[in-house]
Structure 1
């Protein structure tokens, strides 16, 4: 009661001062934080936020939060958010337009100024790096670095452990306007869904080790085509398959010394890979596979569903997918026999090169200048970067998806019959489903792991983790740089994509390579590379 009385007297005093200073505001209602917009929490507000323990605030507050909705459940009904509100004493008004409409709605609220207190799980596709810089410099998004230092010990510890995080989220004006997703899952370094070998075919041919060079792979693909590994007695095998090269391209570019199908850095020097000699060697190799029937002739015309149908007919020797049984239709137990593709070397790239996912996805949590409680907001989100908070937001509270066993392990419960799968049910319990929630992504402590989970981790540790490196860091561009990149990139990417298919299929002979490079040069690629070099240099010196 004494505390409330003091707050009331303070509010009355503040109101009197404001009226005396600004006669034009006599009709406005004055609350804490209304007197003047600031990028830092007031000392009075900071005093009511508990830096440790829960609740975060002794007096309940309500904030507005805008996020993309998955349509699985209303956020106000999700047990995870309900329990976390009880725990923190922070309630929310949720604004969750469908994912398909989210970017449009976000742009509208930014334009109107009627933006929520928190922008949550937007992701870099909706809250782009350019928007972070633009709205940060306008003061719509507030700087977060001081709030992190004071109210986010979990996230600060992650930055201390991995300095690339801070460099990747610090904009060109030296501020942090958005927190990222930090992915430390065993598969987080995958540059894309892997390629998988048909283990039964390897057994039939007596192959004990998967290829490690482009020549060894060529020899194996020839055997897949000519030695009837599926035992049908027919010429129906497809040694290698993809859809538009969208999944396997990453792995084959790496075999010829490239980390990206575009901008990459090579020891600090930026280059445009699709005009390099390495890329010409990649096209030459893939054209050879296509010409000899080792690469599916329908690669550039089929759908993913058609690819999967061929896999379920046991016609594929090497194929892309997140897990092999997604294509083959096998059980997880059967898929244990399908080894992961090993990175290849080639005459032009004798050392293994492999792009890796940096495990940092930006644009996931921002605080706007409308927020009167930025310190409490930062403490609220910091929990998600702890192991306990990660587990809580990943699988929800106990009693729904899981319960604790006698030994402290998690035991998964039977999913209610109205839900097709445990994932569908999980999407009604927590917002951490299908959107980039700002959190630490990793294995849940105590959760059971199948033999297949352990197989995937072992394959990753042997074939990805030792080699993976970021193709190009997460950089920020100035407005002028971004405008130039946008203008150049559309036509450049379209041309390169079109010519890749033409070169691989032989519609365009590789004797036209010099003409291809000349065309790219006329598309302002030099400016495009220089912009990224400048951005890289800023990032490296941050």
Structure 2
């Protein structure tokens, strides 16, 4: 292991501090060594021996440190109901475990947070040591790295045990954190949501399946078509009215439009019209290393023909592309059942806490993707995001980046992950090996309910997460350094699997997993630079917007799929779609080259 460079930052002498009356020193390396009887602070950055913090590598760092070390921290994330990161149980716990005092000199949220962060970055000599969470895009992060305001962490992370173990468990994690210049400027997040990978799901009303289809859930596009016709024509709700809605949905909810679910029976496509989570490279796929736009393929055209048939025959609700959530909910939750099939990430039939009790949601079943006429049976897959809010970047003015990196790696440990997420052990959570886990096996962690009237030893900590009664008991998830992989999350104990939201959604994800596209066909979240970033940004809005508009028009018949398809392709060509694809290809090639290193 080669010796890491210690980026220098000169601190004021103790005499100067006293003369100026400064009560708090900025800078990674500020140490608290009380003078006799005073509890005073020194700012030499090192103990008397001169080497208390001069570790050569992350693996050399042992917590707690022999001397108190203060580091200045910026965090851009909100705590629900007020409160700060400084006045927080987690922050106190970290100090106890590591002997590092986190001085949150910048603790901001709200609409003006980005403006404040931009101002911070205009003063290179007074940067905080650690950017815990920033909300930067990858392009912004790399730009600050190239300006020398934050440091590359490649060498620092070489022997960070938790960081490397996370990368082994999650093969796409490291590549997601390497920028296009080959550098790693952030420690990164690890919050894998298993069921979110397969969130474009479809639900079917089982009482009608039993009555009309002998309990057989459709498995092909033809079977789905025939079943929807039965719903339309056979009055399954028995009220004598032709008021049944075979398939419905709406735009603007959590995977609440039916298009991408049906398109994946014809061709791989990750371009949902409705998704509350951002879709990376919508409509783009990788075929033998080459970026392709699936929405220009003949198979995509066949998918639109099929959906248009459903629409034109009244099997797909004509309100799907015009109604909002309120209108959709009114139809779905009607006293007399009306809807047979609808798309969503989760059940929409009950109130917010549907899983906590028996209810109408139990009449609905998630059903798997159906097979198309050419044997295609896929689901849309969303990529895990390991970049998060830009977790853990180190400024160029930090004197002890080795220690800061070790701190970030410590926070990714199992215990620290639980403390950040749930609060104190024994009060917010416990280790356990009893009961059923989220993934259906033996659990390792049990989440506890903190009593509303609990006063933590008179220290004024909050009774709940609101922060109204003192300190918060946890950090906000967007500003936590986590090792919350699908495996780790799957080990959380579920007290009542039959009435638990996450357990229900986990099983839905497990149903869809066999139909996921190959990992190598997914376009990763790439980093674009300079003019190329503008090309991608503009094309995503303009070309992507046109594709979505045409999708709806082909389905509704406003565009004729037989006579106006070529016009659609010509319009895309005039919009420089090839430049859009080529730009993606350029950065995908760079991504793959960096991933192979």
TM bucket (normalised to shorter chain) is: 0.7 to 0.9
Aligned residue in 1 for 2:536 = 485
Gaps of 5+ in 2: 1-9, 14-24, 31-42, 45-50, 272-282, 435-443, 455-462
Q: How far apart in 2 are the matches of 1:81 and 1:288?
A: 58
How far 1:468 moved relative to its partner? Answer: 4.4
State how 1:156-171 maps to structure 2 within 5 Å: 156-171=164-179
Does 2:237 match 1:227? no
Whole-Å Cα distance in 2 between the matches of residues 517 and 217 of structure 1? 29
Matches within 5 A, 1:273-312: 273-312=294-333
In 2: Cα distance, 1:143 partner to 1:216 partner: 55
The answer for the alignment partner of 1:22 in structure 2 is: none
Are the equivalent residues in 2 in contact too, given 1:139–1:369 (CA < 8 A)?
yes
- 8 Å CA contact 2:261–2:369 kept in 1: the answer is yes
TM-aligned CA deviation for residue 193 of structure 1 = 4.7
Structure 1 residues 209 and 482: CA distance shift in structure 2, 3 A: same
Contact (CA 8 Å) 1:57, 1:376: kept in 2 or not? no
**Correspondence for 1:75:** 85
For the 8 Å contact 2:379–2:512, the answer to whether it is kept is no
Where does structure 1 lack aligned partners over 5 or more consecutive residues? Answer: 1-10, 16-27, 36-41
Output one character per residue of 1:420-450: Cα deviation in whole Å (capped at 9) or x when no partner: x9886899432234x3644222427553343
For residues 346-385 of structure 1, what are the structure 2 equivalents within 5 Å?
Answer: 346-348=372-374, 350-362=375-387, 363-385=390-412
Task: Report deviation, 1:517.
Answer: 0.8
Q: Once the 2 structures are TM-superposed, how far is the Cα of residue 502 of structure 1 from its aligned partner?
A: 1.7
Q: Quick one: distance in 2 between partners of 1:211 and 1:424?
A: 46
**Among 485, 493, 505, the residue aligned to 1:447:** 493
Q: Which has the higher helix share?
A: 1
Are 1:241 and 2:267 matched, yes or no? no
Pairwise CA distance, 1:486 = 2.3
| Cα distance in 2, alignment partners of residues 240 and 202 from structure 1 | 13
Q: Say yes or no: does 1:210 pair with 2:206.
A: no
Which residue in 1 is equivalent to 2:579? 527
Distance 1:163 1:406, change over 3 A: closer
Aligned to 2:131: 119
Task: State the partner residue of 1:134.
Answer: 143
Counterparts of residues 27-426 of structure 1 (less than 5 Å)? 45-46=54-55, 51=60, 54-56=63-65, 58-72=67-81, 73-94=83-104, 95-113=106-124, 115-122=127-134, 126-150=135-159, 152-190=160-198, 192-244=199-251, 247=256, 248-261=258-271, 262-313=283-334, 314-325=337-348, 331-332=355-356, 333-334=358-359, 335-348=361-374, 350-362=375-387, 363-398=390-425, 400-402=427-429, 410=446, 412-413=448-449, 416=452
Taking only aligned residues, the RMSD between alpha carbons, in angstroms, comes to 3.6
Equivalent pair of 1:258/1:278 in contact (CA under 8 Å): no
2:509 to 442, 448, 460: 460
The Cα offsets for residues 212-267 of structure 1, whole Å up to 9 and x where unpaired, read as: 22222222222222233334333222222222385333322322212322222123
Q: How far is 1:43 from its partner?
A: 9.9
Q: Kindly provide the CA deviation profile for residues 134-181 of structure 1, in whole angstroms up to 9, marking residues without a partner as x.
A: 11111112111222123x211111213444222222112211112332
Cα pair 1:309 1:327 within 8 Å, conserved: no
Q: Report the 3-state secondary structure (helix = DSSP H, G, I; strand = E; otherwise coil) of the residue aligned with 2:559.
A: coil
Question: Is 1:353–1:468's contact at 8 Å kept on the other side of the alignment?
Answer: yes
**Please, what TM-score do these two structures have when normalized by structure 1?**
0.82
Rounded to whole Å, the distance in 2 between the matches of 1:447 and 1:29 is 42
Q: Secondary structure at the match of 1:181?
A: coil
The alignment of Structure 1 onto Structure 2 pairs a total of residues equal to 504
Residue of 428, 432, 437 corresponding to 2:476: 432
Tell me, in whole angstroms, the C-alpha distance in 2 between the residues paired with 1:328 and 1:218.
Answer: 30
Shift of 1:52: 5.7
1:253/1:60 CA distance change after superposition, 3 Å = same
Q: Deviations over 1:88-125 (max 9, x none)?
A: 22222333332543333333332444543322334xxx
> Could you tell me how far 1:530 is from its partner in structure 2?
0.7
* CA distance in 2 between partners of 1:423 and 1:243 (Å): 34
Check the 8 A contact 1:49/1:56 in 2, yes or no.
no
Q: 1:345 to 1:148 in 2, by over 3 A?
A: same
CA distance in 2, matches of 1:131, 1:309: 43
The verdict on how the C-alpha distance between 1:97 and 1:477 changes in structure 2, with shifts beyond 3 A counting, is: same
Q: How does 1:486-505 map to 2 (within 5 A)?
A: 486-505=537-556
Preserved contact between residue 240 and residue 295 of structure 1 (Cα < 8 Å) = yes
SS in 2 for 1:105: helix
User: Match for residue 6 of structure 2?
Assistant: none
